[in-house]
Each structure stands twice: as structure tokens, then as C-alpha cells.
A and B are shown apart, each in its own frame.
Chain A
Amino acid sequence: QQPVQSPQAVILREGEDAVINCSSSKALYSVHWYRQKHGEAPVFLMILLKGGEQKGHEKISASFNEKKQQSSLYLTASQLSYSGTYFCGAYNQGGKLIFGQGTELSVKP
């Protein structure tokens, strides 16, 4: 079951904030966030392992609500380098990392 991400796309000005959501119809035991720039492979950002956990990476942080089977990625004071497609991923029962459809983030000067 593919996680569902929202929004599908977002356009920001430099310095603005954004939130990307990821939800699943199945129980989530961990959530993985990646960023992919055009023509490149996804780069690992962070993993959240248990409910309520919050993590940070530069000015990018994330939370994980195990009960609601949701995770959110927060980008604060966005920079041009944040542009890309963000994917959340979750392991299924077969041990395979299944990705959401992606959220395209564009940061404009």
C-alpha cells in the first residue's frame, strides 16, 4: 500500500515555510524521508522510528504520529537548495520500502 503524500506540489519564496504530509492506511513502524533533485537519485534525509519522534536535519525537521499513521516534514526558512521532490517511504510487511508519490517543492528567489 503506497503512502499518500500531500500536497502534490508547492511553490515557495526563499525564506518561507512549508509542510509536507505523509499518511498510510496501514500501520507505520518507521517513516523515511528522502529528497530527490532532478536527474539524480534520492538522498536520505532522516528516519523516524517511533511514535511522537521528531528529528531535525539543518532547517528541515519531521514528526511521526504513530496512532494517526502520519508523518509530516517541516521546512523552515526555505532556501533555493531545498527545491526538489520529497518522498516519504515506509516498510511493508515484506520488508520492502514503499514510497509515496512525491511532493514537488520549488523555491523561488
Chain B
Amino acid sequence: GAVVSQHPSRVICKSGTSVKIECRSLDFQATTMFWYRQFPKQSLMLMATSNEGSKATYEQGVEKDKFLINHASLTLSTLTVTSAHPEDSSFYICSARKGGLADTQYFGPGTRLTVL
């Protein structure tokens, strides 16, 4: 199988604080991980692509200084939402790309962030 874990699953924080979300591929090595954000009843919007050992590439409109991404190893990527505000409240989902013949992405369970 291909299992991706994400932690925490739910976080509530005060405005102005920073929140770190971890994404791990448990049974495979992922050279590429992706971070998505999803608002209620909407599709998944790609925020950034994270490559192990290099800087993340951000989609247009996503502030790289606000959403810090670190891909420390082939199995771990982290997203830090800095100085969070209520408008950052959303469902954040990571995915890990598993190469090979069936090259597809497997998603973590998601993190629901609520900023008060």
C-alpha cells in the first residue's frame, strides 16, 4: 500500500500564532510532496510543490513567506502557517507522489485549521 500520515488532524490557534503541520510517507519514499488547501464544498487547490532537498515552488497567489515549507527527508515535509489569521482557516491536505508505473499521489488525512 501507500500510506501518508499527517499531524495534527485538527488545530485551533489564536490569530498571530504559527502552526506547523507534518506530512509523512510511511511506506515509501517520496521525492515530491504537495500541499493543498480546500475550502468547504470546493476542489483541492494546489498551494506548493515540495521537493526533497530543495526549495518549494509555490503556486501563483500563495505567499511563500506565510506558508513555509520544508522537505527535510524523502519521507517528511512540513508546512508552517506563520502569523495565522482567521482567513487562513481551512482544510490543509498533503500528498506524496509515488513514482513507478502507476505514478500517482496519495493523500494524508488532512489537517483542519481554525484560527480564532
Contacts and interface: CB of A to CB of B under 8 A. Distances in A.
Chain A residues touching B, majority SS: loop
Contacts of B91: 39
Contacts, number: 52
A51 interface: no
Contacts of B43: 2, 87, 99-102
Interface stretch (B11-19, B68-76, B82-90, B99-107): B99-107
Contacts of B26: none
Interface of B: 2, 6, 32, 34, 42-44, 46, 49, 91, 93, 95, 97, 101-110, 112
22 contacts: A39-B91, A40-B109, A40-B110, A41-B93, A41-B108, A41-B110, A43-B107, A44-B104, A44-B105, A47-B102, A47-B104, A49-B101, A49-B102, A89-B105, A96-B49, A97-B34, A97-B46, A97-B105, A100-B43, A101-B42, A101-B43, A102-B42
